[in-house]
Chain A
């Protein structure tokens, strides 16, 4: 079917609600009103208030209740309307959901999905625009999905709901209206998408790793750079935990150069982890320093001019790629002090 990202999410939710009576959706204004971003529109009419639970504004209790239900057979899917509000539920995510399987020696598990609306929608300012995926990637016990296309939103969400572990599922605000073809699952389609990246564009000079909305910027940058004779390969990891190390290595075997682009601030962002993986595991493949492009290390400002300045776009990705391709001086007397 042809679907927007939001429709693809809705389709996945509907199929899972249909498939498993233990699946239920829980969150603020997700039911009768269909969600602030409309992702659950129409599901309340179809599945009713027992399967779509509108909650008070109580993030910790809501996520905590979802974790609790998941311990004894529930399959809750929580919506956090703006990922920024996850800060109010961090104890339940980090100290409870992420740890429970491990702490109990595998006796309990917390198979919940937390759908988190992420990124800026333009002038949404400091408390409604953040990209917080690194917090969750840094917490052992959580899986993290970052779909960039309607197809991935659909496929990854279905897998996330069926997964036995807690999954943090990021949805970028600016992607909700993005439309493409989404092949619906058949009973045979069972190969896992978690941990398998996709090459979104083939190229030979440099690999750009990107995800969520920034992936579109990376593809646009690759298009611009092609006109300059620079061939970019764009790699979409699709999930950050697990991360497709082999996919990254095979791409680097072709290109030898790596740029990582994401909307989150660069400092200690996911790009740092990917760069470290490449440096440690693909050192011999690399022919240039690794570069990262992302949000500046500032909160997200309100004014569009400033917001634009702090966040990555196709131009900034393109100039980062160019900088990686610049010929570098060979080690010589000029870079070494005379002894």
Chain B
């Protein structure tokens, strides 16, 4: 298992770009929770807060033609890929202009134009899909790669093991990005598997596995750059384990009392947004006003997104019958 080499230094402008995206994710989630409390979001929410550096670091290393699969905790991945928060809020509010036309909600969000093949309500469900997408990219002789985000809990599913074996065997251009946030739902990692470093599992499949500080956006970016470089040149898949932590409960409404207080506090001190802020202001010469400006920009963007989404119409009940098939034989297949 090789640790990634020292990240190449980022410019101030790059760092401020990552910072802005991380704050966008953080605030998107915080405001989604408030809006849910107000009754605007009828379904589940699994907040990504605390893990922003993983999505932003990995997505910063991707090209436009790359494709991604995600999880139940997918808002951050989608925003980091560049999705429009207006369409995402509209989806959460179950409006027709939502990114899934109100058919999916948080668990199933997608933006096809960005190669974002969807969040997933099934733990481990996106992992084989990413390998399949990578297979198709390879068949097309594309230099694009597929990325699959998933959690520590998902690495106990058969789909993870079967897919890693297959992807290694066929040297598929895919990045397996495991966000080890120490918990699968209410169960701590040491109660659901006997290993500490999930990256170790790569060796069973003769695959490269790396452990990365998932709260360090620069380290995540560097690891993803190395893995995409390898994948784009026929070197096959990499398993990247990002050590991180979710700040909130498993889902909105979970008080997360199963986590020791000192553990939570230690991780809160390593908040990825604090870490990047320090990097910007202490090492890259950024100022407090750079930070404030970025935050204000995000807030305005979200104000506008929410205002737009709130005004979108609700679907008609019978819209439910659309989209079951691409071709329903004029409805015959619905009978």
Contacts and interface: CB of A to CB of B under 8 A. Distances in A.
Interface of A: 28-29, 32-33, 36, 54-61, 84-85, 88, 122-128, 267, 296-299, 301-310
B315 interface: yes
A16 to B, nearest CB: 24
Contacts of A298: 320-321, 324, 334
B108 A127 contact: yes
B44 interface: yes
Nearest to A308: B317
B321 A126 contact: no
B192 interface: yes
Given A303-B95, A307-B320, 15 more contacts: A56-B153, A56-B192, A57-B124, A57-B157, A58-B158, A61-B158, A88-B122, A88-B124, A123-B105, A125-B104, A126-B103, A127-B122, A298-B334, A301-B103, A305-B315
B258 interface: yes
Contacts of B192: 55-57
B107 interface: yes
Interface string B79-119: 00000000000010011000010111101100000000000
Given A123-B105, A306-B102, A33 B124 contact: no
Contacts of A36: 185
A301 B123 contact: no
21 contacts: A33-B258, A57-B124, A57-B153, A57-B154, A58-B158, A59-B157, A61-B158, A84-B121, A124-B43, A124-B44, A125-B107, A125-B108, A126-B121, A127-B121, A298-B334, A302-B91, A302-B104, A303-B94, A303-B103, A303-B314, A307-B320
5 smallest CB-CB distances across A and B, nearest first, come from A127-B121, A309-B317, A56-B156, A302-B105, A123-B42
Contacts of B334: 296-298
Contacts of A85: 122
B11 interface: no
Interface in B152-203: 153-154, 156-159, 184-187, 191-193
Nearest to B192: A56
Nearest to A307: B320
Contact of B156 (A58, A122, A128): A58
A29 B187 contact: yes
A29 B186 contact: yes
Contacts of B124: 57, 88
Contact of B42 (A127, A296, A304): A304
Contacts of B108: 125-127, 302
Contacts of B158: 58, 60-61, 88
Given A33-B186, A126-B108, A296-B320, A302 B103 contact: yes
Given A305-B314, A309-B318, A297 B258 contact: no
Interface in B31-63: 42-44
B316 interface: yes
Nearest to A129: B121
B8 interface: no
B55 to A, nearest CB: 21
Contacts, number: 122
A54 B189 CA distance: 12
A299 B187 CA distance: 30
Nearest to A59: B157
A306 B104 contact: no
Nearest to B121: A127
A88 B319 contact: no
B335 interface: yes
B330 to A, nearest CB: 15
A57 B153 CA distance: 6
Interface in B249-303: 258
B19 to A, nearest CB: 32
B147 to A, nearest CB: 21
A301 B258 contact: no
A53 to B, nearest CB: 11
A123 B252 CA distance: 15
A122 B154 CA distance: 26
A338 B121 CA distance: 58
Contacts of B102: 301-303, 306
A60 B160 CA distance: 13
A301 B123 CA distance: 20
A46 B157 CA distance: 30
Interface string B199-213: 000000000000000
Interface in B310-330: 314-321, 324
Nearest to B257: A33
Contacts of A302: 42-43, 91, 94, 100, 102-105, 108
Contacts of A301: 102-103, 320
B43 A123 contact: yes
Contact of A305 (B100, B104, B193, B316): B316
B215 to A, nearest CB: 24
B326 to A, nearest CB: 14
Given A54-B191, A123-B94, A306 B42 contact: no
A267 B332 CA distance: 12
B319 A122 contact: no
B279 to A, nearest CB: 35
Contact of B320 (A61, A84, A122, A306): A306
Contacts of A55: 192
Contacts of B105: 123, 125, 302
A303 B315 contact: yes
Nearest to B120: A127
Contacts of B42: 122-123, 302-304
B148 to A, nearest CB: 16
Contacts of A60: 158
Contacts of B317: 305-306, 308-309
B315 A306 contact: yes
Interface centre among A122, A301, A305 (most CB of B within 10 A): A301
A59 B314 CA distance: 36
A57 B123 contact: yes
A299 B94 contact: no
Interface centre among A36, A61, A303, A310 (most CB of B within 10 A): A303
Nearest to A58: B156
